[in-house]
């Protein structure tokens, strides 16, 4: 009786194996192609796979079918590194990452800090924008060391040699306090290079010649926004 049951289970497993071999040999999952079913293990049937890069690996079939494994380990590492690169450039030295971050703030609309830099019209001089070597040269000639951060003397000015210096964090906090005090007394409106900048809920809505114009635009925008919410 027990023997019959065992035989029955073996038959079922054999049938399932034959079914998978017939239907999935040559099938593609992500970067992998199933070359051959090798047999069973604790994790179920094992398959031999060919990765797009030419590497051969053996893995459990269920993990391939569930998209848990999408390529050979080497291609997986490369893909993860590529994903990281999109948002966070892999930088060799601290100064290089400072340069990368400065460019991101000023030029990448998807950056969370773009609103406070690029959108406010803060630019990077061509020399620095196009050449890390030039930025590095200026930095080393102007007192850079690994404890300092890059600061703009005029918080509304550009990233350029005449407006930048290396300071410790303390000095920089002091300087940004001047900026937050540089208020017009009007909600959402701050002074920017003698003009008036409108910012609502962290979003930038332009720079105006007069405070009256900024106020007019703020009120009409808020009216518009309120209507939209309702």
- Give the residues lining the site for Zn ion (CB under 5 A): 51, 53, 55, 71-72, 75
The nearer residue to Zn ion, 32 or 215, going by C-beta atoms, is: 32
Number of C-beta neighbours around residue 38 at 10 A: 13
Provide the minimum distance between the beta carbon of 57 and Zn ion in the complex, in angstroms, as a whole number: 8
Q: Are 91 and 97 in contact (CB under 8 A)?
A: yes
Provide the minimum distance between the beta carbon of 52 and Zn ion in the complex, in angstroms, as a whole number: 6
Which of 164-170's residues contact partners 24+ apart within 8 Å by CB, and which partners? 166/139, 166/142
The span from the CA of 198 to the CA of 191, in Å, is 9
Provide the minimum distance between the beta carbon of 78 and Zn ion in the complex, in angstroms, as a whole number: 8
**Distance, CA of 221 to chain centre:** 31
The nearer residue to Zn ion, 23 or 67, going by C-beta atoms, is: 67
**Which residues, listed in sequence order, are joined to residue 48 by a DSSP beta bridge?**
36, 58
Provide the minimum distance between the beta carbon of 60 and Zn ion in the complex, in angstroms, as a whole number: 18
The nearer residue to Zn ion, 75 or 221, going by C-beta atoms, is: 75
The nearer residue to Zn ion, 73 or 223, going by C-beta atoms, is: 73
What are the CA-CA distances from residue 118 to residues 18, 60, 96, 105, 126 (Å)?
A: 61, 49, 19, 6, 15
The nearer residue to Zn ion, 78 or 203, going by C-beta atoms, is: 78
Number of C-beta neighbours around residue 17 at 10 A: 15
The nearer residue to Zn ion, 46 or 75, going by C-beta atoms, is: 75
The nearer residue to Zn ion, 16 or 77, going by C-beta atoms, is: 77
The span from the CA of 186 to the CA of 205, in Å, is 15
Provide the minimum distance between the beta carbon of 155 and Zn ion in the complex, in angstroms, as a whole number: 49
Provide the minimum distance between the beta carbon of 86 and Zn ion in the complex, in angstroms, as a whole number: 20
What are the CA-CA distances from residue 28 to residues 20, 32, 50, 53, 146 (Å)?
A: 13, 6, 9, 14, 49
The span from the CA of 208 to the CA of 133, in Å, is 37
Provide the minimum distance between the beta carbon of 83 and Zn ion in the complex, in angstroms, as a whole number: 16
Q: Are 166 and 151 in contact (CB under 8 A)?
A: yes
């Amino acid at each position: 009786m027990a023997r019959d049951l065992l035989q029955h289970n073996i038959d079922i497993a054999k049938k399932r194996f034959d079914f998978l071999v017939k239907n999935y040999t040559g099938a593609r999952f992500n970067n992998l192609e199933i070359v051959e079913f090798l047999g069973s293990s604790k994790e179920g049937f094992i398959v031999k796979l060919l990765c797009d890069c030419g590497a051969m690996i053996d893995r459990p079939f269920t993990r391939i079918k569930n998209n848990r494994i999408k390529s050979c380990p080497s291609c997986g590492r490369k893909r993860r590194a590529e994903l990281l690169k999109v948002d966070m450039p892999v930088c060799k030295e601290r100064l290089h990452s400072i340069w990368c971050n400065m460019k991101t703030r000023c030029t990448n609309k998807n950056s969370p800090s773009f609103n406070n830099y690029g959108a406010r019209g803060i630019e990077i001089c061509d020399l620095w924008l196009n050449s890390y070597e030039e930025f590095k040269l200026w930095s080393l000639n102007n007192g850079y060391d690994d404890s300092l951060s890059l600061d703009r003397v005029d918080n509304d000015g550009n990233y350029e040699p005449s407006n930048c210096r290396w300071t410790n964090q303390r000095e920089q906090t002091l300087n940004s306090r001047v900026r937050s005090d540089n208020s017009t007394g009007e909600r959402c409106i701050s002074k920017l290079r003698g003009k008036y900048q409108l910012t609502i809920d962290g979003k930038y809505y332009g720079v105006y010649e007069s405070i009256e114009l900024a106020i007019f635009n703020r009120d009409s925008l808020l009216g518009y926004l309120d209507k939209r919410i309702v």
